[in-house]
Amino acid sequence: MRFVYFVVQQFDFKMKAVPLPPALFTLNRERLAQKLLPRSLALFNANDIMPTNADGSMGHLQNADLFYLTGVHQEETILLLAPDAFDPTQREILFVRQPNEHLAIWEGHKLTQAAATGVSGIKHVKWLSEFPAIFRSLMCELENVYLNSNEHARADVTVEMRDARFVRDCQKQFPLHRYQRLAPLMHELRSVKSAAEIDAIQAACDLTGRGFARVLKFVKPGVNEAEVEAEFAHEFIRHKGAFAYPPIVASGANNNILHYTQNDQICKKGELLLLDVAAGLGNYMSDLTRTIPISGRFTRRQKQVYTAVLRVLRLMTRAMVPGKTTKDLRSECEALLAEECVGLGLLKPSQLKKSTPENPAVRPYFMHGVAHPLGLDVHDVTYNHLKISPGWVLTCEPAIYIKEEGFGVRLENTVLVTEDGQLDLMAHIPIEADEIEALMRRR
């Protein structure tokens, strides 16, 4: 699954808070501090609340790096780390909005200093009004300044965010400091998940499974894609979750639209329904795709293609080992799917011989990657050159799209890479064709 632009009225990223142990965020800050140069200051800003139209605004989506280090969901929050500061009370400071009666009436609860300490494990919590003086004092004392930006390779940065404004203003006010990038450090740190993070991702996967089980009982000819989306929403929201990304509920020929989010067509007898829908829970995400028969039974041809994709998913899950890159996985997946396409009569052996890495023969039937990191973001931060290591959580999502036959099949699970192999965090969610059919018959 890949993020694309969407209409705000259709989707809200806002996650409900699910408590995580403060020790997780303390450990994350310690790991980052070890990577900073001597006499350094690192600063993280909360995300802006984005406007819509008139006086509307979107729900607040916390900056994932800030959440990773603090566990704080609140807007206008700043984290300042200065491990070598002369004053011990200034080595780790969290700045939050000061609660008042007006905010309480209009926006509700805001963190007290004690509550912010309880969530983050940070002892020294200040009000935002104190930030300018403390920041200037530390800038005058220290030499290296680490600032943040969105360095995801596929990010579409068209709106100037709070981080960008802060970088500009900081460099204008303090032009003689040595500036460093936080993104490479955060990408490296966030790629390897701790035990608490894995538990959080597993909880999101479990909630996704409950949503899928509900939908298997609901889908039949005549229901609308929007109604299917609503079944997922009901299950996710009642457990304090939310959609991890704009849901894809694609029936019939819509199977072949990779980022279909229209979700408003009638599900027809004999067609397949591709469901790329998963839950986010407490800021940690999952990612799942299933392709099911709307009538409750696959046709012979649909089952052939389905079984081929499932075989590749099993093989590619085992191929996710330390030392490889996601590019390596894509090349391996393309080779496996190409062989399956020969067996399905979609490609000829002679076409495979002419295949090149730049123009693989299977591309008309499989045109995207097979794996991406997952965590606080559905497409979690990393760099393409980084090699998989134990603790990475990845998706595995092979597919075969047959436009000329009017259907496609994509399957996807969330997988943890360990030193001893792979752990499929969605192994309990039905995926075998016979099991899907049996569960749908029970509706």
- CATH (domain of 165): 3.40.350.10
Average pLDDT over all residues of the chain: 93
Nearest to 198 by CA among 376, 30, 350: 376
Interval 99-147: pLDDT, tens:
888 888 888 889 999 999 999 999 999 999 999 999 999 999 999 999 9
CATH of the domain at 336: 3.90.230.10
Place of tokens 């229901």: 223
As a whole number of angstroms, the distance between CA 240 and CA 249 comes to 22
- How many domains does the chain divide into? 2
Q: Is residue 56 part of a domain?
A: yes
As a whole number of angstroms, the distance between CA 299 and CA 121 comes to 56
Interval 152-188: pLDDT, tens:
877 777 888 899 999 999 999 999 999 999 999 999 9
Q: Is residue 238 part of a domain?
A: yes
Nearest to 180 by CA among 143, 211, 128: 143
Q: pTM score, two decimals?
A: 0.93
DSSP for 89-156, written as a single string: GGSEEEEEPPP-HHHHHHT-----HHHHHHHH--SEEEEGGGHHHHHHHHHHH-SEEEE-----TT--
Residue 27 in contact with residue 193, Cβ under 8 Å? no
Q: Is residue 337 part of a domain?
A: yes
Place of tokens 């899928």: 212
Do 187 and 199 belong together in one domain? Answer: no
Place of tokens 């729900």: 59
Q: Is residue 1 part of a domain?
A: no
Q: To 10 degrees, what angle do helices 225-238 and 195-218 make?
A: 140
Interval 392-435: pLDDT, tens:
999 999 999 999 999 999 999 999 999 999 999 999 999 999 99
Measure CA 323 to chain center: 22
Q: Which domain holds residue 80?
A: 8-191
Q: Is residue 2 part of a domain?
A: no
Do 125 and 200 belong together in one domain? Answer: no
Do 267 and 399 belong together in one domain? Answer: yes
Measure CA 125 to chain center: 29
User: What would the two tokens of residue 160 be?
Assistant: 């100037």
Q: Is residue 418 part of a domain?
A: yes
Q: Is residue 380 part of a domain?
A: yes
- In angstroms, the first-to-last Cα distance of the chain is 28
Instruction: Tell me 57's DSSP state.
Output: B
